[in-house]
Amino acid sequence: MPNLTAEDIQRWGKEREGLSGARALHLFKELVEEGCIALTKPLGHGSQRLPWLVASPQLLTKKGLLEIGELPDPDQELIRAFREARERIRHDPNIPEPQKRSWLEWVDRGITLLDAGTKLGDLLLKQFPSAGH
């Protein structure tokens, strides 16, 4: 990725997001600090002050891609995989019925546990918002 100047970030903020220059710079810094954007060099080369002159983005992190919806939610992907496994087991004629029932019961318990864990995690994050950072 090319280097970005503070002016580039301010222009993007104004044109794309309707943000003031200072707010765009602050938002960029927050995204870096929260681990959504990885840099090749620290902002301001060690200085934590705003505005900095040049930022050197390396990539959007997995966290950043997940936040903008470019990656599937891992919890939902896992639940989807369990549901797909359940359907494959249910329709596989090569699995004996007693074993099929046992496997389906195990998969259903896994889905229930994953779903409950996801809901509990969401509830905890609502109760303690700073825990997600």
pLDDT tens for each residue of the chain, 133 residues long: 567 778 888 888 888 888 888 888 888 888 888 888 887 776 665 555 555 556 666 666 777 777 777 667 777 788 889 999 999 999 999 999 999 999 999 999 998 998 888 888 878 878 876 655 4
Say if residue 51 is preceded by a cis peptide, omega within 30 of 0: yes
Return d(Cα 15, Cα 40) in angstroms, integer: 26
Is the entire prediction scored with pTM above 0.75? Answer: no
Around 73, how many Cα atoms within 13 Å sit in the side-chain half-sphere? 8
Helix axes 74-91, 97-127, angle to 10 degrees: 170
